Structure 1
Amino acid sequence: MAKPVGGQRYARALFELAVENDRTDQWASDLALMADAMQDEQFNPFLKHAEVPLDQKISALSTVLPDIDPMVRNLGSLLITRGSVDSAGDVSAAYGQLVDDRLGRQRIEVTTAVELGPAEAERIRQFVADLVQREVVMSTRVDESILGGMVVQIGDRLLDGSTRSKLEVLRRQIRAEAASG
């Protein structure tokens, strides 16, 4: 999934500093916390409000997240100063992708119509790991509207093996045959 250029740029800069300081994992965690806070439905409007002085916004970030690394907090201050609060999630995602690339990991999301059991989830994770030749970190979600089967998101690729998708293909084929026949 492509991220905005600004998010990539901030993420790359922070990532390079994190590698130099051997803090990639800690900063990934701190950056995710900061992005969540900046996207909070109550905190986000405060950070973007034109009448709130900049120093109060930056101070509020320190108050809300007192334990994050100062370098990550500095990035948060920069995002606030530049009016880029809404890009915090993109920065965090881009940074996470840089960490995953460095560690040879691939994140995937598997959507099924029913909850996967642990054995099923592990079998799918291992299948995709063999396919992409990388360690796989899998998240799952349930969407009853797919009816059955599964949809697997691997980076920018979508593998749709859902029953809904198969029924849609069949419906199009029937319409095409009816129109031509």
Structure 2
Amino acid sequence: MPTQVSGKRYAQAIFELAKEQDQLDQWAGDLQLVFQALQDEEFNAFLKHAEVPAADKVTAIGTVLSSVHPLVQNLVHILVSGGLVDLLPQLHEAYESLLDEYRDRQRVEVTSAIPLEDRELERITTFLSGLIQKEVVATTVVDESILGGVVIRMGDRLLDGSARSRLEGLRNRLHAGVRLS
């Protein structure tokens, strides 16, 4: 748990710095690049390896992240040197949350049994935006197991309009009715 608190603290600090410099989007993009680089298992293991000299890690970071802002590179150097590589994904997520809050945005995940057409997704996001009075940024997931309809995950809220949940509800009501008779 302390790691999450630290990740949030770092995110808050760099968010304020990026806001002061009017570079919120640049930092968001750069932190996304850092996050993507860490998805490479070999690079991640290299940065975590205790026997790799810090200078080699700094050189590798400079090479892999050459396109990111120098302050983002310095942040990564500090965290890697302090053995806090695992903090970077949490920092990235916390920064994105701060940016969404600042921009009055809500990220949602829309799950459907088949890929949604653009106009269907637009109708869903327009509806949700009106409901919560925020800009809605949606990502889509295809999961055939829901059979039909959509499941919308919005933060800690879940709106389940799937055919599967409706069928399960019907089955439960039928079983309850049989038991009452």
TM over 0.5: yes
Q: Which residue matches 2:139?
A: 139
Q: Are 1:80 and 2:48 matched, yes or no?
A: no
Q: Which amino acid aligns with 1:154?
A: M
Q: Which residue matches 2:103?
A: 103
Q: Which amino acid aligns with 1:126?
A: T
Task: Kindly state the Cα deviation for residue 179 of structure 1 after the two structures are TM-superposed.
Answer: 5.4
Q: Which residue matches 1:156?
A: 156
Return 5+ residue gaps in structure 1 as ranges. none
CA distance in 1, matches of 2:47, 2:173: 52
CA distance in 1, matches of 2:171, 2:84: 45
Q: Which residue matches 1:10?
A: 10
Q: Which amino acid aligns with 2:34?
A: M
Deviates more, 1:163-172 or 1:22-31: 163-172
Rate the CA distance shift 1:175–1:66 in 2: closer, same or farther, 3 A: same
Aligned pairs for 1:41-120 (under 5 A) are: 41-120=41-120
Task: Kindly state the Cα deviation for residue 162 of structure 1 after the two structures are TM-superposed.
Answer: 1.2
Q: Give the number of aligned pairs.
A: 179
Question: Percent of counterpart pairs with the same letter?
Answer: 52
Q: Which amino acid aligns with 2:100?
A: D
TM-score by length of 1: 0.91
Return 5+ residue gaps in structure 2 as ranges. none
Report SS of the residue matched to 1:4: helix
Query: 1:146–1:164: 8 Å Cα contact kept in structure 2?
Result: yes
CA distance in 2, matches of 1:142, 1:44: 29
Deviates more, 1:120-129 or 1:161-170: 161-170
CA distance in 2, matches of 1:83, 1:110: 36
CA distance in 2, matches of 1:28, 1:109: 20
Using CA pairs under 8 Å that are at least 6 residues apart, name the structure with larger relative contact order, 1 or 2: 1
Q: Which amino acid aligns with 1:44?
A: N
Task: Kindly state the Cα deviation for residue 6 of structure 1 after the two structures are TM-superposed.
Answer: 2.1
Task: Kindly state the Cα deviation for residue 79 of structure 1 after the two structures are TM-superposed.
Answer: 1.9
CA distance in 2, matches of 1:170, 1:89: 41
Q: Which residue matches 1:35?
A: 35
Report SS of the residue matched to 2:123: helix
Query: 1:32–1:89: 8 Å Cα contact kept in structure 2?
Result: no
